[in-house]
Amino acid sequence: MKVPENTLKKALVAGRVQHGLWLTTGSPVAAEIAGDAGFDWCLIDGEHGPNTITDMLPQVQALRATGTPVVVRIASAEVWMVKQVLDLGVQTVLVPMVDDAAKADEMARAMRYPPDGIRGMGALLARASGFGAVADYPTAANAQMCLLVQAESAAAVDNIDAIGTTQGVDGVFVGPADLSADMGYPGQPDHPEVTKAIEHLIARTVAAGKIAGIVIFDESQFQTYADMGVTFLGVGGDALVLNTALRGLATRVKAS
């Protein structure tokens, strides 16, 4: 066996827009349905979804069966959280609340084995190595890791050039909701000052030659962000889609 190629990273590095879905229900069935739906990636949300490491495993397995690349957003920028999801076999990780280059560097080192990083040497026991079937996993895995750090504060806006040029950071993902709140405009991600900050974050990320990402639920804005250079583009969420569809169905049934 060989370390699987990170096809999502390959596509993003090549500049191809990859559309993905947020998974927040904690359901392997929802993950399987989403994986078969045709998205370029699916993200298991460990920050705002009810997903512990144990909950993530069956979703990772379900998505693998569909062939859709898996991304995991961990709950916090902690080295041990990175280690756990990588050992599950996840190759692309989104880390929230990265405000400066020091934290970005710590996360980059957490993603990779020595000498390039500090990832713990537990591959023999991990799903990531096929439980030891990939003999060269510790030496081959680093090249397939993809780290996206989340810029979602005024501090991150100020530090974007240092964050974006940090070695081992593959991309910067903008979090509009938290960014708007931190800037003093909670619930107003479309406020002109917030929009200006978002555009700045994306522009500086693209200028650094890194992957730019964002999640937007307004379909009319998808092309706008793609034109800005966003290639890691979140376009919806399982809970939101399900809620909208079920409420719409109930309304139509009652109206008829």
- Return the active site residues: 48
Total residues belonging to the chain: 256
Give the Cβ contact number of residue 130 at 10 Å.
16
Contacts of the segment 57-63: beta carbons below 8 A, 24+ positions apart: 57/88, 57/127, 58/28, 58/31, 59/23, 59/26, 59/27, 59/28, 59/31, 60/88, 60/89, 60/90, 61/28, 62/28, 62/29, 62/31, 62/32, 62/35, 63/31, 63/32, 63/34, 63/35
Instruction: Let me know: does 98 contact 150? Beta carbons within 8 Å.
Output: yes
Interacting residues of 241 by C-beta distance below 8 A, sequence separation 6+: 21
Angle between helices 53-66 and 28-37 (to 10 degrees): 30
Helix (H) or strand (E) holding 62: helix 53-66
The interaxial angle of helices 28-37 and 238-255, nearest 10 deg, is 90
Find out whether 88 and 125 touch, Cβ atoms under 8 Å: no
